[in-house]
Amino acid sequence: MQLRPNQRQKLDDKDDKLFYAYPRFVTHVDEGFIQQLTDLYRDRLKPNTRIFDMMSSWVSHLPEETQFAHVEGHGLNAEELARNARLNHYFVQNLNENPQLPLPDEDFNAVLNCVSVQYVQYPEAVFSEIYRILKPGGVAIISFSNRMFFEKAIQAWREASEAQRVELVKAYFASVPGFTTAEVIAHKSTLPNLLQWLGASGGDPFYAVIAYRS
C-alpha cells in the first residue's frame, strides 16, 4: 500500500502546529461513540500494562476503573495533553514532519489512535512505528467516525466513503509485515445525514480497526 502524492495532500497545507496552537477542550464525537470506545478499551486492554495514546488530547476515553502501568501520551497541543489526567507522561511531535517516535522497541502493550488517523500523511511510516513499539501480541486500535477537520484531512480520506475509509486503515496495517489481519467493528448511524452533521445525539457512526503484532 502506497498513497500517491496527491492523496496525501491537505486543503490547508500550512504547518499543523499552527492549526493546533490553541487548545480545544471539547470532544470531537458524541457520547454514544465515546461509550462504545470505552467499552472496547475495557474489553481489549489489560490492567497494569503499558499504553501509548497517539495523537491524543485532554481526554483518552480509557475506562476509569482500570489502572495501567504507564500511559504515554502524544499530540500537538501541550495544554490539552497536560489536562489529561490519565497520562503519566506526554510529548509533542508533528508526525507529518517526523514520523519516527522517540520510544523504545517493543515497549507497549497497546497503541491507541482515536479520531485522528485521517490527518496522517505518511501512514506507511507511522504504522511501521506502531509495529516497532508494540510488544509481541500487543494490540493497535484505530477508531474513527465521520467527523473531521476537513481542511486537515488527507485527500484519500476526504474523498472516500465511510466503507472505503475502513478499507484504507486496513491497508495501512497490511502495509506492515507482522500485523495480524485487521479486525473491523462497524456501527453505522441510523440517523439521516443532515441530523448527523448537525450533531444530533446518537448520530455518530463508530468504526474501529484492530490488529495485533504477531
- Say whether pTM exceeds 0.85: yes
Residue 73 has phi, psi (to 5 degrees) of: -110, 155
What pLDDT, on the 0 to 100 scale, is given for residue 194? 56
DSSP string, 76-89: S-HHHHHH-TT-SE
What pLDDT, on the 0 to 100 scale, is given for residue 12? 86
What pLDDT, on the 0 to 100 scale, is given for residue 25? 45
H or E segment to which residue 165 belongs = helix 162-174
Query: Based on C-alpha coordinates, what's the Rg of the chain?
Result: 16
What pLDDT, on the 0 to 100 scale, is given for residue 188? 84
> What cell numbers appear for 21 in the block?
496552537
DSSP string, 111-148: EEEES-GGG-S-HHHHHHHHHHHEEEEEEEEEEE-S--
CA-to-CA distance for 213 and 107, rounded, in angstroms? 12
How would you write 33-64 as a 3-class SS string?
HHHHHHHHHHHHCCCCCEEEEECCCCCCCCCC
What pLDDT, on the 0 to 100 scale, is given for residue 135? 98
What pLDDT, on the 0 to 100 scale, is given for residue 32? 87
pLDDT tens digit at each of 214 positions of the chain: 689 999 999 988 877 776 666 666 456 678 888 999 999 999 999 999 999 999 999 999 999 999 999 999 999 999 999 999 999 999 999 999 999 999 999 999 999 999 999 999 999 999 999 999 999 999 999 999 998 777 889 999 999 999 999 999 999 999 999 999 999 999 987 666 655 555 555 578 999 999 999 9
What pLDDT, on the 0 to 100 scale, is given for residue 195? 58
**Crossing angle of the two packed helices 123-133 and 162-174, in degrees rounded to 10:** 60
